[in-house]
Amino acid sequence: MTRPYVASRADEVLHRRSFDVLVLGGGIAGMTAAIGAARRWRVGLLTQSTLEETTTFLAQGGIAAAIGEGDSPGLHFEDTLKAGAGLCDEEAVRVLVNEGPDRVRELMEICPRFDKVDGQIVLGREGAHSLPRIVHAGGDATGSEVTSALAEAARLGSRVQLYEDEFVIDLLTLEGRCMGALTLNLADGGLTLNVAMVTVLATGGAGQVYGRTTNPAVATGDGVAMAYRAGAAVRDLEFVQFHPTGLAVPGQKTVQLITEALRGEGAYLRNAAGERFMTAHDPRGELASRDIVVRAMVAEMRREGTDHVFLDATHLDAGWLQQRFPSVTAGLREHGLDLATQLIPVAPVCHYFIGGVVTDVWGRTTVPGLYASGEVASTGVHGANRLASNSLLEGLVFSDRVVRDVDRYIGRLGEDVRRLSFDIPEAVMRGRSSDAGEARRRLTGIMQSEVGVLRRREDLQKALVELGELTSEIRFDVMGEAEYQVLNMLTLGTQIAKCALLREESRGVHLRDDFPDVDDERWRRHITLRLPEHERSEGVGEVRRRG
């Protein structure tokens, strides 16, 4: 489906805003970039919903950094590489672990509620970390605490212009260079040209492409899809991380995550017979890397013919559990479950999108003027399997580097892009319109059942056929948030399935039932995609210079 996202308008007025730096996304990566860039430049921060409706805000886990006694960036480096199953970019990992401690200390100055005992920061342990190095705020509410602190800093202590409820339709490009983005205001339906010398993509992940996910409703992969259409290289799309412990009860719109920190504090995984099984799969037991835990869980579920296993924290002190994990215990209580007295049904759930828009260690994509940071980016730090609590750290570290490079980039620009004019074609009625909600349910069902945690050639081939049929059937007369999201999800879902079919091995979070082993000889490499030049969408219509 070539250029399926060309925006159209009827008679409404096309609004216009101009910035030096345009940041798309309100999570930790976007706010870090916006606050940093605003020290020197006019910055606009656009977010699809509110700052509370981000993956960062929902994050229960903490932030990993080598700040404890006996720890070092070298140890963090080795843990990250080992978890990444042979595909980490070592230069990017060195940047992450060496600059991470300073970025975390700076964040602690903005966010004072990091957990301490007697004035000393508390360090937790999570899977595949060789020693405790995870900092938390508010127990299992790190994401909301960090988001609130950064939001306050953005609103009160900087020159960031914040726009909520703005859906980004497409990136504006001219002669291969990014000039900003076209957005849809979700309150009044108006279209706005946001023109900028630099655009920072920080739109988060894509968990909503699957039927069961811990991600918020806005995580529909829009950033990766729009960057792909604009000609940016994307990479590693087959590596979708399924978190081992998603709550396995029906009726959840967004699946409740049972934080990995629980296993770090001593909770066990048990099968239907009540037996601990992880020690038979890995000497680290429940603290093995996420891909190994997921493999073991899938093996137990297949052997027993069940769709879940159990998390057991009943041997831990009830009062301490309530104090340490208030969000988890409150969420479970809503489902009639008690962490202190009951085994909790859990199953792998789509959680984190490792692939994304290819960047270098300064956040630069393959499209000049376009940077990317956070989950939307593929920096190479996660390889084939993200190490627990490296995600928020990645947003902090690489957004800081983006800001430093943006200062250099804008200083070299010889043209004021704010003088450019962009035209959008008129809407053309096409007849009967498809139902976006039904199309989305079909799409997420296909991805969940055929491109899920355990993959096979015949399932992936079937998925590509079904996704192709859905793509060819869709006709939208009126374009709104739901319709754009479905088109973005179709683009991304198709590419995920395609890459998963190509990689004929099991590595990290990519598990193939028909190719169960790692194949370093053929597949210790990345799959990178880029839309052919003749198919790339130049912005959203005719682009011409003004004046």
pLDDT in tens, 341-377: 999 999 999 999 999 999 999 999 999 999 999 999 9
**What does the pLDDT average to over 153-171?**
87
**What does the pLDDT average to over 30-38?**
94
For residue 263, the SS3 value is helix
Are 122 and 88 within one domain? yes
pLDDT band at 55 (very low <50, low <70, confident <90, very high): low
In the structure encoding, which two tokens stand for residue 80, read together?
């990250």
d(CA 491, CA 471) in angstroms, rounded, equals 9
Over 90: is that where the pLDDT of 310 sits?
yes
What CATH number does the domain containing 331 carry? 3.90.700.10
Question: Final residue of a domain: which of 315, 349, 383?
Answer: 349
Are 396 and 303 within one domain? no
Three-state SS sequence of 72-141: CHHHHHHHHHHHCCCCCCHHHHHHHHHHHHHHHHHHHHHCCCECEECCEECEECCCCCCCCCEECECCCC
Are 235 and 270 within one domain? no
pLDDT at 75: 98
* Residues of the domain holding 283: 244-349
In a domain, 11, yes or no: no
Distance of CA 185 to the CA centre of its chain: 23
In terms of Cβ atoms closer than 10 Å to its own Cβ (0-12, 13-18, 19+), residue 131 is middle
Number of CB atoms found within 10 A of residue 96's CB: 30
Of 11-15, 53-57, 93-97, 193-197, the least confident: 53-57
**Number of domains, the chain:** 3
Active site residues: 290
Q: Which of 88, 168, 4 is nearest to 531 (CA)?
A: 4
Are 363 and 479 within one domain? no
* CB 34, CB 231: distance < 8 Å: no
Beta carbons within 8 Å of 412's beta carbon, 6+ residues apart: none
Helices (H) and strands (E) in the chain, counts: 15, 22
Reported as a single tens digit per residue, the pLDDT across 369-424 is: 999 999 999 999 999 999 989 999 999 999 999 999 999 999 787 656 656 666 66
Are 211 and 105 within one domain? yes
Are 473 and 526 within one domain? yes
Are 205 and 268 within one domain? no
d(CA 137, CA 152) in angstroms, rounded, equals 16
pLDDT at 53: 63
Are 282 and 359 within one domain? no
**What does the pLDDT average to over 131-146?**
85
pLDDT at 515: 97
Number of CB atoms found within 10 A of residue 99's CB: 18
In the structure encoding, which two tokens stand for residue 173, read together?
């490009």
Reported as a single tens digit per residue, the pLDDT across 67-118 is: 999 999 999 999 999 999 999 999 999 999 999 999 999 999 888 788 888 8
pLDDT band at 541 (very low <50, low <70, confident <90, very high): very low
pLDDT band at 144 (very low <50, low <70, confident <90, very high): confident
Most confident option among 17-31, 129-143, 408-422:
17-31
pLDDT at 424: 61
Reported as a single tens digit per residue, the pLDDT across 313-327 is: 999 999 999 999 998
Over 80: is that where the pLDDT of 38 sits?
yes
In the structure encoding, which two tokens stand for residue 155, read together?
């609103």
Q: What is the mean pLDDT of the chain?
A: 89
In the structure encoding, which two tokens stand for residue 486, read together?
């479905």
Helix (H) or strand (E) holding 448, with range, is helix 436-450
DSSP conformational letter for 346? E
Of 30-34, 185-189, 537-541, the least confident: 537-541
* CB 64, CB 100: distance < 8 Å: yes
d(CA 365, CA 371) in angstroms, rounded, equals 5
* CB 42, CB 159: distance < 8 Å: yes
Please count the residues of the chain.
547
In a domain, 426, yes or no: no
Of 143-157, 175-189, 233-247, 274-288, the least confident: 143-157
**Block residue for tokens 């683009």:** 491
In a domain, 29, yes or no: yes
What CATH number does the domain containing 177 carry? 3.50.50.60
* CB 86, CB 507: distance < 8 Å: yes
DSSP conformational letter for 417? G
Over 70: is that where the pLDDT of 56 sits?
no
pLDDT at 420: 67
In the structure encoding, which two tokens stand for residue 101, read together?
């401690």
Q: What are the C-alpha distances in Å from 374 to residues 356, 391, 407, 509?
A: 9, 7, 19, 19
Are 391 and 451 within one domain? no
Of 171-180, 350-359, 439-448, 482-491, the least confident: 171-180
**What does the pLDDT average to over 446-472?**
97
| Amino acid making up residue 38 | A
**What does the pLDDT average to over 328-345?**
96
Are 105 and 212 within one domain? yes
Over 70: is that where the pLDDT of 52 sits?
no
In a domain, 140, yes or no: yes
pLDDT at 3: 31
Question: Final residue of a domain: which of 323, 349, 375?
Answer: 349
Are 502 and 362 within one domain? no
In a domain, 194, yes or no: yes
DSSP conformational letter for 431? S
* CB 376, CB 240: distance < 8 Å: no
Are 43 and 104 within one domain? yes
Question: Final residue of a domain: which of 304, 330, 349?
Answer: 349
What CATH number does the domain containing 522 carry? 1.20.58.100
pLDDT at 7: 58
pLDDT band at 427 (very low <50, low <70, confident <90, very high): low
Of 46-60, 121-135, 182-196, 311-325, the least confident: 46-60
Q: Which of 427, 429, 374, 367 is nearest to 399 (CA)?
A: 374
pLDDT at 547: 30
* CB 246, CB 257: distance < 8 Å: yes
In a domain, 1, yes or no: no
d(CA 257, CA 469) in angstroms, rounded, equals 33
In a domain, 224, yes or no: yes
**What does the pLDDT average to over 500-507?**
98
d(CA 52, CA 148) in angstroms, rounded, equals 8
pLDDT at 542: 35
d(CA 377, CA 357) in angstroms, rounded, equals 5
In terms of Cβ atoms closer than 10 Å to its own Cβ (0-12, 13-18, 19+), residue 52 is middle
In a domain, 27, yes or no: yes
Of 114-118, 197-201, 311-315, 487-491, the least confident: 114-118
